[in-house]
Amino acid sequence: MCAGFERSRGRARLFAATGVAAATVAVVVCAAFAATSKPLVLSDPRADVSGPLDLARVSLQRASDGRLRAAVSFAAKITPRTLLASSGPPGSACLRIWTAVNPDPAATRPDRLVCITARSEDELRGGVYEVTGPELPKRLADASVRRSTTGRNVVIRFTQSSLGRPRRIRFAVEATQPGCERPSCIDTLPDAGAVKGFRLR
């Protein structure tokens, strides 16, 4: 009887220790998930395009809630009305994202777009879109958008799951002036068709 009791006590101690270890692992995992990543910062010369959507700086990082946070800075103040066009396509600022393991950005389109557009004259709108071919991109998810008090900076946040949770992405940023589709109306960052890599996990 005493031997059985000791074995029961031993199993209880083992289960308790296992529970503590599991809890510790869970805390570590949660802490890793909540850790923000160092922002990747890209800068662009001002006045290299005509029009209000002149990119000055973009940063991308993983936020503490696990979402991705892109901060887009413009050379001048913008408002939702800045993105609206009296004719032609509306203006936008988009992250062009390649999620494949070994993409060729020079030869292939991005498979995701994360864009800032205008819902109205008073409200910006953010969204994640899937690009699958020549058709119009398909909206996959919403993205939160916040404009700074100066009006020059816009922060857009979106989930990793909306990108399919790749380990690494390649990305570039482009801002397109409203009502214009000429190359001179599009500001890109980095310049000359370059892209940057960013590790998600």
pLDDT tens, N- to C-terminus, the chain (201 residues): 544 534 445 444 543 444 444 444 343 334 444 467 899 999 988 777 778 899 999 999 999 999 999 999 999 999 999 999 988 899 999 999 999 999 999 999 999 999 999 999 999 999 999 999 888 999 999 999 999 999 999 999 999 999 999 999 999 999 999 998 788 889 999 988 899 999 997
- Chain-centroid distance of CA 57 in Å reads 15
3-state secondary structure of 18: helix
Q: Maximum distance among all alpha carbons in the chain?
A: 89
Give kind and range of the element (H or E) at residue 5.
helix 2-34
The CATH code of domain 40-199 reads: 2.60.40.1190
Distances (CA, A) of 168 to 9, 36, 40: 48, 16, 13
β-bridge mates for residue 95, sequence order: 114, 173
Pairing between β-strand 124-130 and β-strand 112-118 as defined by DSSP bridges: antiparallel
